Amino acid sequence: MGAQKYVYFFGAGKADGNAKMKELLGGKGANLAEMTSIGLPVPAGFTITTEVCTEYYKNGRKYPAALDAEVKTNLAAVEKLMGKKFGDPSNPLLVSVRSGARASMPGMMDTILNLGLNDTTVKGIIAQSGDERFAYDAYRRFVQMYSDVVMGMDKEALEHLLERKKEARGVHLDTDLTAADWKELVVAFKAKVKETLGADFPEDPEEQLWGAIGAVFGSWMNQRAITYRKLNSIPAEWGTAVNVQSMVFGNMGNDCATGVAFTRDPSTGENYFYGEYLVNAQGEDVVAGIRTPQPINKAKQKAGDLPAMEDVLPECYLQLCNIRDILERHYKDMQDIEFTIEKGVLYMLQCRSGKRTAKAAIKIAVDMVKEGLIDEKTAVLRVAPSQLDQLLHPSLDPKAKKEIIAKGLPASPGAASGEVVFTADEAEAAAKLGNKVILVRVETSPEDIHGMHAAQGILTARGGMTSHAAVVARGMGKCCVAGCGDIKVDYAGHKLVAKNGVVVKKGDVITLDGSTGEVMLGAVPTVAAEVSGDFATLMGWVDKFRRMKVRANADTPHDAKTARDFGAEGIGLCRTEHMFFEANRIAAVREMILSEDIEGRRKALLKILPMQKGDFKGLFREMKGLPVTIRLLDPPLHEFLPQEEKDIKALAETMGVPAETLRHKVEFLHEFNPMLGHRGCRLGVTFPEIYDMQVQAIMEAACELVKDEGFQIVPEIMIPLVAVTKELGIMRANAVAVCEEVMAKYGVKIEYLIGTMIELPRAAITADSIATEADFFSFGTNDLTQTTFGLSRDDAGKFLPFYVENGILDDDPFVTLDQNGVGCLVKMGCEKGRQTKAGIKLGICGEHGGDPASVMFCDKVGLDYVSCSPFRVPIARLAAAHASLGA
Ligand code: ADP
Ligand code: MG
Ligand code: MG
């Protein structure tokens, strides 16, 4: 041991540490060291390492033996530099004690300023500053902070004494109190501490120092910090560092100030100095909101603002501008800084890379490449894929007025306005007339899909972030507010009633904000998302660096267009079931289902064929030769029939069949667990004519386009829910026969692929065998997750949130791929597939295709592409680039 260093010094241009030592010194300590060594004016001090924190807890709250001596040595070095002595009656050194973990944990641990003051040293401060009021103001602040942070005193009690003092003096502002007032308050504060806690306020500076150090280390394990770490996945082993730094004072008069600034605008990314300051104030006053801080520069001044720092302290302002340039050139990133000016001299107290919006992140990254500060790869890595979500949905115009009537879960981002409707059919009907609607349901179910498609946004009173409404809406890139307990849906009364009493009737207009969960009255104007300007520039770089292709899940030419606009390089999943649901086809579909023999089914299917062909043509045209994967019918047939008695009756009437017949069919098709029932290729195996018709439609569409419009198309036909090689073998043979027949009929030869979804564990486990019949695999990780976990996504809402909250699962496995379980099956499927067929095309088409962490995983196992909902395509592109760049 022995040789271990526990304390790192910084001051007068020299520092033991540097910016790379964040793990040991915490973010604050590492950057104080770095700023010191690049010559910026940083008050001298030292950092006690995070290792001390770790050992402190390992050894039953005892410090390492060597710490005491190291603190003494470093304190002496600070004293020497400052020409002051800690605890000295005539020339006292005062310090701040500041926490600082590796990752910033705002508001978690407190800072103590002005430490070292007592009834003796305060006289020294008066003598030195010639300012009694300042000295006692500093002293009372210290007593307030220390008794709160270290001794556990209730802040309010002292605040109350201060208020009483102001009342007694007949003043409103702290600044109106005199030296004598503050002096009396110090006495009163201490007495109150003694009365409340039964302990004396410590006079001995050394005791104060160790008390403060202990409080910072102690705060690492307080409930607030533990909760914060859990929410932000910060390990407890990291520990916090403690920074002890000589004080500088922004509150010694009008040539003093304190402020915070960003080297660029953190909200827009604009390249100008953005900051706020207060004259004659100490540190936390700027954020505390007691006084309103002022902009530092004239350019950002609004009418009614007090003078800018640029005017009030012009020399310091210029110096600060210079430091801004130095910091940006040094760190090559936007910095968030704290500074204080004492009697016209500027000091730097903190810097770190600044938090920013997605918009700002992109602009700053692109600008910094143009300025030659960073290269394109760095720029790409500067933007977090998940951040992009903010930019990809229409959003409410920030300048608009809003009347909020309720708040639910922000289930799918974006904003939408429209007339309220309460059923999916109403939504569809209204959309047909060109009306914009918001579909309001207690909960949604698969039967509502057409209404959700037609609606601008979805509002549900029940259900969580993984409810049907939430999942489907996110897939559609549609705004959704779920689980909004603030509203009561009254289907019979065609109205909803908000908790605050507001009644919204069918046809009334509301607006949803899927990013905040807010429900508003009336149409709040929105702005549409697009990839342009800096965003487009950045995405251009992204595409240079990524290996994996990105496709979209899209069922209609409209979705395909959106996908293309967002940069999709193909369609990875076209679901065909919606093509059966449309009003003019559902009758034929039902006729097919009710037919007792194959001839009857063929006849009905023949009616659907030209419409499906039209759908595929539209899709192929929109994708202009890019690959399109079409999945043959997947859901069980009962989904196409009504379930309610009255609907059955009504349908029977329109179809001209006895209600009895229809009811029988519905009963016959009923399944206890449709998710694991007669669906996917099991339909294809038992009713081959359905898949034959679909393959025919696909190939005829392709042949006609090739022949008539000179297209390049390679259709990829995908067989769902295969568990056994033979299933795929049969389906493949059927499909090949149809393809050959169609091509012969048209006299054209086109390339086509037949592959399968790997969405059952058995398929992954036997992928080597399945590959003998497949040209490609697409991992359907939604079903693969359901079947691997043995849980149904639609029922998971009852317990999954609890699992995630309590750490039983790290993440919702339907959002982020479960790499250790489901991921293993994906990996195995890839390896076994390639074992049989080296060049087999591999992709993923579950919701995970748009989740950054899952995309990184897909890159690692070597997938050729990911496919996600159109609105997540840019996120997937960026995540794929991050993966290629080894992020
Ligand atoms: P946080 O991590 O919450 O920002 P800080 O340790 O940065 O806490 O300190 C809080 C405030 O106190 C900041 O405004 C900071 O600038 C100020 N401050 C900290 N140390 C000193 C010091 N040595 N001299 C003057 N002000 C200080
Ligand atoms: Mg700070
Ligand atoms: Mg599936």
Question: Is 314:330 a contact under the CB 8 Å cutoff?
Answer: no
pLDDT digits (tens, 9 = 90+) for 293-336: 788 998 877 777 788 999 999 999 999 999 999 999 999 999 99
Please check the confidence at residue 284 and state whether its pLDDT lies above 80.
Answer: no
* Distance in angstroms (rounded) separating the CA atoms of residues 680 and 37: 66
In the set 316, 351, 845, 858, the catalytic residue is 845
Is residue 706 situated within a structural domain? no
* 845 is known as an active-site residue: yes
* Rounded average pLDDT over 114-125: 97
Residue 874, in any domain of the structure = yes
* Count of CB atoms situated within 10 Å of the CB of 71: 22
Distance CA 221, CA 53 (A): 10
Q: Tell me the CA–centroid distance for residue 28 and ligand 2, in Å.
A: 8
Do 320 and 421 share a domain, yes or no? no
Q: Is 813 part of a structural domain of the chain? A: yes
Question: Do both 405 and 275 map to the same domain?
Answer: no
In 10 A of CB 43, how many CB atoms? 22
Question: Is 614 among the domain residues?
Answer: no
pLDDT computed for residue 290 by the predictor: 60
Average pLDDT over residues 847-859: 96
Residues 201, 139: Cα–Cα separation, whole Å: 12
- Least Cα distance to 443 among 416, 413, 406, 411 occurs for 411
Give 135 Cα–ligand 2 centroid separation in angstroms.
Answer: 23
797 DSSP assignment: G
What is the whole-number distance in angstroms between the Cα of residue 350 and the centre of ligand 2? 6
Task: Tell me how far apart the alpha carbons of residues 396 and 415 are, in angstroms, rounded to a whole number.
Answer: 6
Residue range 752-772: mean pLDDT, rounded = 98
Task: Pick 639 or 293 by higher pLDDT.
Answer: 639
Residue 605 pLDDT class (50, 70, 90 cuts): very high
What confidence category does residue 398 fall into, taking pLDDT thresholds of 50, 70 and 90?
confident
Give the H or E element holding residue 489: strand 487-490
By most ligand atoms within 8 Å of CB, the mutation choice from 345, 349, 352, 355 for ligand 1 is 349
Distance CA 692, CA 670 (A): 25
Q: Is a pLDDT exceeding 80 seen at residue 107?
A: no
Rounded to an integer, what distance in angstroms lies between the CA atom of residue 95 and that of residue 80? 14
Describe the strand order of the beta sheet including 495-498 as a list of residue ranges. 487-490, 495-498, 503-505
Reference 521, options 431, 400, 360, 629; nearest CA is 400
CA distance 751 to 95: 76
DSSP strand pairing (95-101 vs 240-246):
antiparallel
pLDDT for residue 283: 78
101 and 207 fall within a common domain = yes
CB-CB contact of 113 with 282 (8 Å) = yes
The answer to whether the beta carbons of residues 415 and 514 sit under 8 Å apart is yes
- Looking at every residue in the chain, the average pLDDT score rounds to 92
Identity of the residue numbered 732: R
Count of structural domains within the chain: 4
Beta bridge partners of 409: 482
The reported pLDDT for the residue numbered 65 is 94
Average pLDDT over residues 69-90: 96
For a mutational test of ligand 1's pocket, the pick from 340, 347, 355, i.e. the residue with the most ligand atoms closer than 8 A to its C-beta, is: 340
In a domain, 812, yes or no: yes
Distance CA 632, CA 723 (A): 16
Between the CA of residue 263 and those of 107, 270, 313, 603, what are the distances in Å? 22, 10, 18, 71
Q: Are residues 684 and 632 in contact, defined by beta-carbon separation less than 8 angstroms?
A: yes
Tokens representing residue 154 in the block = 């209730």
Report yes or no on 645 lying in a domain.
no
**What are φ and ψ of residue 868, in 5° steps?**
-145, 180
Residue with tokens 């070095």: 77
Which range of 223-227, 465-469, 508-512 scores highest in mean pLDDT? It is: 508-512
Look-up of token digits 């969580």: 464
The four Cα atoms 538, 541, 542, 545 give a dihedral, to 10 degrees, of: -160
Q: What is the pLDDT of residue 1?
A: 47
Domain CATH number, residue 782: 3.20.20.60
Average pLDDT over residues 195-223: 94
Residues near ion ligand 2 (Cβ under 5 Å): 350
User: In angstroms, rounded to a whole number, what is the distance separating the alpha carbons of residues 808 and 802?
Assistant: 8
Query: Mean pLDDT, to the nearest integer, of 599-622?
Result: 94
Domain boundary among 212, 246, 280: 246
Q: Measure Cα distances from 103 to 26, 48, 100, 260 in Å.
A: 7, 16, 8, 19
Q: Whats the size of the chain, residue-wise? A: 887
Is the same domain home to 232 and 339?
no
pLDDT for res 48: 98
- Same domain membership, residue 263 and residue 226: no
> Long-range contacts for 122-130 (Cβ within 8 Å, ≥24 apart)?
123/89, 123/90, 124/88, 124/89, 124/90, 124/91, 124/92, 125/92, 125/94, 127/90, 128/91, 129/252
Ligand nearest to the CA of 783: 3
Among all bound ligands, the one having the nearest atom to the CA of 105 is 1
Residue nearest to atom 19 of ligand 1 (CA): 96
Provide the H-helix boundaries in 386-448: 424-432
Domain hosting 470: range is 393-527
| pLDDT class of 681 with cuts at 50, 70, 90 | very high
What percent of the chain is modeled with pLDDT above 90? 74
CA of 846 to the centre of ligand 3 (A): 8
**Cα 646 to averaged position of ligand 2 atoms, centre (Å):** 66
User: Which tens digit of pLDDT belongs to each residue from 796-816?
Assistant: 888 988 898 888 998 899 999
Asked whether residue 579 carries a pLDDT value surpassing 90, the answer given is no
pLDDT number for residue 268 = 85
C-alpha distances out from residue 195 to 53, 157, 159, 190, 383, Å: 32, 11, 16, 9, 54
pTM score: 0.84
CATH number at residue 429: 3.50.30.10
**Catalytic position from the list 393, 468, 848, 882:** 468
Same domain, 113 and 51: yes
Which of 111, 213, 285, 352 has the most ligand 1 atoms within 8 A of CB, as the residue to mutate?
111
Considering all CA atoms of the chain, what is the largest pairwise distance in Å, rounded to the nearest integer?
107
Helix axes 852-860, 873-884, angle to 10 degrees: 50
Token duo for residue 98? 């500041």
Tracing tokens 């500060």 back to the chain, one arrives at 373
Nearest CA to ligand 1 atom 6: 98
Structure tokens at 57: 């807890």
Ligand 1 lining (C-beta closer than 6 Å): 43, 96, 98, 111, 113, 245, 247-248, 283-284, 338, 340, 349-350
Which residues sit opposite 20 in a β-bridge? Answer: none
In this structure, are residues 428 and 454 in contact, taking their beta carbons and an 8 Å threshold? Answer: yes
What is the pLDDT at residue 95?
A: 98
In a domain, 469, yes or no: yes
Q: Tell me whether residue 749 is in a domain.
A: no
647-651-656 Cα angle (round to 5): 150
Is 98 in the same domain as 143?
Answer: yes
> Quick one: 21 and 51 in the same domain?
yes
| pLDDT single digits (tens) 348-365 | 999 999 888 888 999 999
**Top-ranked range on mean pLDDT: pick from 267-281, 462-476, 730-744:** 730-744
Whether 213 has a pLDDT exceeding 60, the answer reads: yes
Average pLDDT (455-482) is: 82
**What are the tens digits of pLDDT across the range 23-65?**
999 999 999 999 999 999 999 999 999 999 999 999 999 999 9
Q: What is the mean pLDDT of residues 230-254?
A: 90
Helix (H, G, I), strand (E, B), or coil: what is residue 283? coil
What CATH number is attached to the domain comprising 293? 3.30.470.20
Q: What is the DSSP letter of 319?
A: H
Pair 181, 215 in one domain: yes
Q: What is the residue with the minimal CA distance to atom 17 of ligand 1?
A: 283
Tens digits of residue pLDDT in 495-520 = 999 999 999 999 999 999 988 899 99
347 and 480 share a domain? no
Are residues 237 and 169 both part of a single domain? Answer: yes
> If you measure from the C-alpha of residue 29 to the centroid of ligand 2, how many angstroms do you get, rounded to a whole number?
11
Please tell me whether residues 239 and 261 are part of one structural domain.
no
Among the bound ligands, name the one nearest to the CA of residue 786.
3
**How far away, in angstroms, is 804 Cα from ligand 2 center?**
32
Mean local confidence (pLDDT), 5-14: 96
How far is the CA of 388 from the CAs of 273, 362, 539, 873, in angstroms? Answer: 25, 9, 11, 10
Nearest-CA residue for ligand 1 atom 13 is 283
Ligand at minimal distance from the CA of 577 is: 3
